[in-house]
Structure 1
């Protein structure tokens, strides 16, 4: 009986209205890119996460607008952010990124937009039937859900740190390579110049001597 109850509770919690999209996109220099999410009813929760994975100083401008073009969130030169909003207006919400501060560098951004309804517990079929078990199981499920969300955020954090570290290492390797190349060319040029100076120093032009 307990197993059946657990199964029914899991099935009841699964169809919660959750719409999520995790994407990675590249934003060129001087480009503005917007993404949209629909909210079906007022009071729904909107989760918005983003992190700049590579490009320049790992920063980006962003803003979030409701269906009435009202700015709910905005930021300049932000590296990452994790926000939760309450949608008070039904309609289409815009999540925009702008790479206006960079004239040459492309930015790679990892972001996640989630629209989730407030969970509502339904009463049992009969008064008092399985109330204690249902309440305990629901609390455990919500607690596990919170722990999983924390693990997910931690994974995103380390993923971002790894990408940024790799980008920095790649950029440093490129700088070291070109510096070494210029240094070698400078040494070769200096050697050729020294040979030429020595050759002209010991060579007399315009005069001839007889012994």
Structure 2
């Protein structure tokens, strides 16, 4: 059975200006469900831009981002972002005036308690403001929020970048579980060698901005 869910066909992206500067050029790569990918490369090679394109938050200058074989520009992009993708940001992007449980519920109807237990956030923290949590705890809440709903694609931008080794290990286990147990397509932008070691596939964005695997 073909589990391919996303494919980039000759995708290039340039910032709009009089002299366009290409961040990505001629990227061709595919992603499957049940697989965890690590996307690496030097700073400025377009890793976060790639994630933004996969999330439907931006569109390519040229080329196509295909979701189940259809160009996402030919679909309802809002529905695609809402129903098919979830994002975990390096900066967490939690709502600071809401509690832990309320942040998880933002994604939609779900059982926030089950999700928080799953990522290792105990019930004594559920009613607290997220501002009172450590960085590692906030990242776990962000992942729990991303897991709420039925998204088939989990996109994470440096989810372990600011975490200690023990917390990084627990986050890696959660991400691999999402792929291998839940069958999600998990795509992680990272500089971490430990995340790369845990991934099923590593995709490098070279200094000439062409994807190689």
Interval containing the TM-score (normalised by the shorter chain): under 0.3
The answer to which structure has the higher strand fraction is 1
The TM-score normalised by the length of structure 2 is: 0.21
User: Whose Rg is larger?
Assistant: 1
Larger RCO, structures 1/2 (Cα 8 Å, 6+ apart)? 2
The answer to which structure has the higher helix fraction is 1
